A and B are shown apart, each in its own frame.
Chain A
């Protein structure tokens, strides 16, 4: 796996050696490596802290909610209710954060 990040050019072995990434894009491009790693370090990959005040991020979060909603619909159709419940909780959490943010 000799891939380099398309944005900053850092390669995976450097990341592994230094323990640091080269740019924000690295998290996306090497997500196959990072997601399980982050899960191992942090115990879960579901950020629950505050979200930025910047409205462009509001848009991102709203988009995420939309994506989750369509996944939820799919889960219901194939009767995977456990997955559906999980998705429903995630949607609720995101919505709550948006609501809290908008109240400020």
Chain B
């Protein structure tokens, strides 16, 4: 799996210091003449996979892309792709007829472009980059979509726009998401107001746990789907404005906290630091929670014996699959993975020789 190894090396991507950890845009499309995800048969799925490969073999923009047939990947390799947001978990449980084309970041660009084949829709063209930058990734995804459309016919209706299996995505088939880290707002109990406001603006919020179930580490995935009355650019601009607003709020709250930090928060921060410094076993979930507090502690200038760190980068290198891949699958037990995670973090964030 040469491609994947290269991809792993790339994953040490840096998001910068702000609350936005990554930005992601996806465009969903379906091929004319084939049924959609719910009713499609396996044979049709395989056909679509072949058509996709044939189409891109001819397109210059796709020359740097690696193709993975999900059936040919083992479980660890699929987990790595899930952790990297290249495929979704449902894709990994039923793999027949599913594949993904990926271009890993490179050539001076930190955008990861991919096309999922037979996820919910036939094609899900995605562009993702660490940190802030919705416009860039939207341009990238649109450019790829245009090129694909030169070779393939997508289901389209003049009134409804591009047809997707989910009626909510009909139109431009666009979804914009950002992962934001909001420790100040959460710890100050101001997060619910923000959530309400975002819901009123048609944004959905999920916790970050690869699957989106619970809130972890004060991380939130904020998503917006396209609507029929807006075109792509409107949605992108709206989302940009929303992000800037979120960033501003978090920064203001951090500022307010630094002037007057409740002792309960100080206590939480120091405890988190203590565990990070001395624990010998750390699960992924626990590590993320501790890192969020440590990050806040550094921002509020409460913790000094800590290196400046990039939260997004650390999240990526302490994933279960990332570590398992690193130590070799035969040797991994849960304890070994958790022990290595604790060691990695001590190495990464403790200043001096502790």
- Chain A minimum-CB-distance residue to B174: A49
Question: B119-161 CB contact bits vs A (8 Å, 1 = yes)?
Answer: 0100000000000000000000000001001100111111111
- Collect the chain B residues with CB atoms within 8 Å of residue A24's CB: 30, 32, 36, 155, 157, 163
Pairwise interchain contact A50-B232, C-beta atoms closer than 8 A: yes
Pairwise interchain contact A49-B231, C-beta atoms closer than 8 A: yes
Q: A10-B38, A14-B38, A47-B171 are in contact. Are A64 and B229 (CB under 8 A)?
A: no
User: Hey, which bits of chain A sit against chain B, CB under 8 A?
Assistant: 7-10, 14, 18-24, 27, 34, 37-38, 41-54, 56-57, 60-61, 64, 94
Most chain B Cβ neighbours within 10 Å, of A9, A41, A47? A47
Whole-angstrom CA separation of A50 from B165 in the bound complex? 19
Pairwise interchain contact A45-B39, C-beta atoms closer than 8 A: no
- Collect the chain A residues with CB atoms within 8 Å of residue B317's CB: none
10 contacts between A and B (CB under 8 A): A20-B167, A24-B32, A34-B167, A37-B167, A41-B227, A47-B171, A47-B228, A54-B154, A64-B158, A94-B158
Pairwise interchain contact B36-A21, C-beta atoms closer than 8 A: yes
Most chain B Cβ neighbours within 10 Å, of A23, A37, A41, A56? A23
- From A14, A21, A45, A53, contact of B149 by CB (8 A): A53
Pairwise interchain contact B149-A9, C-beta atoms closer than 8 A: no
Whole-angstrom CA separation of A9 from B167 in the bound complex? 18
Q: Other CB < 8 Å A-B pairs besides A24-B163, A37-B167, 18 of them?
A: A18-B38, A19-B168, A20-B165, A20-B167, A22-B36, A27-B167, A41-B167, A41-B168, A42-B171, A45-B160, A45-B228, A47-B161, A50-B231, A53-B146, A56-B153, A57-B156, A60-B158, A64-B158
- Chain B minimum-CB-distance residue to A34: B167
Q: Report the contact-size class of chain B (Cβ under 8 Å from the partner).
A: 35 or more
Pairwise interchain contact A54-B149, C-beta atoms closer than 8 A: yes
- Collect the chain A residues with CB atoms within 8 Å of residue B226's CB: 49
- From B35, B149, B159, contact of A22 by CB (8 A): B35
Whole-angstrom CA separation of A38 from B159 in the bound complex? 11
Q: A20-B37, A38-B228, A50-B232 are in contact. Are A45 and B159 (CB under 8 A)?
A: yes
Q: A14-B38, A38-B228 are in contact. Are A52 and B154 (CB under 8 A)?
A: yes
- Chain B minimum-CB-distance residue to A104: B146
- From A23, A27, A56, contact of B160 by CB (8 A): A27
User: Hey, which bits of chain B sit against chain A, CB under 8 A?
Assistant: 30, 32, 34-39, 120, 146, 149-150, 153-163, 165-168, 170-172, 226-232
How many whole Å from B36's CB to the nearest CB in chain A?
5
How many whole Å from A95's CB to the nearest CB in chain B?
12
Pairwise interchain contact A42-B228, C-beta atoms closer than 8 A: yes
Pairwise interchain contact B153-A23, C-beta atoms closer than 8 A: no
- Collect the chain B residues with CB atoms within 8 Å of residue A48's CB: 228-231
Whole-angstrom CA separation of A73 from B160 in the bound complex? 24
Whole-angstrom CA separation of A26 from B322 in the bound complex? 42
- Collect the chain B residues with CB atoms within 8 Å of residue A46's CB: 159, 228-229
- Collect the chain B residues with CB atoms within 8 Å of residue A7's CB: 35
How many whole Å from B141's CB to the nearest CB in chain A?
13
Q: A24-B30, A54-B153 are in contact. Are A19 and B229 (CB under 8 A)?
A: no
Whole-angstrom CA separation of A34 from B230 in the bound complex? 19
- Collect the chain B residues with CB atoms within 8 Å of residue A37's CB: 167
- Collect the chain B residues with CB atoms within 8 Å of residue A49's CB: 161-162, 171-172, 226, 231-232
Pairwise interchain contact B227-A43, C-beta atoms closer than 8 A: yes
How many whole Å from A53's CB to the nearest CB in chain B?
6
How many whole Å from B51's CB to the nearest CB in chain A?
15
- Chain B minimum-CB-distance residue to A18: B38
Pairwise interchain contact A43-B163, C-beta atoms closer than 8 A: no
- Collect the chain A residues with CB atoms within 8 Å of residue B157's CB: 24, 27, 47
How many whole Å from A98's CB to the nearest CB in chain B?
11
- Collect the chain B residues with CB atoms within 8 Å of residue A54's CB: 149, 153-154
- Collect the chain B residues with CB atoms within 8 Å of residue A60's CB: 156, 158
Whole-angstrom CA separation of A38 from B165 in the bound complex? 13
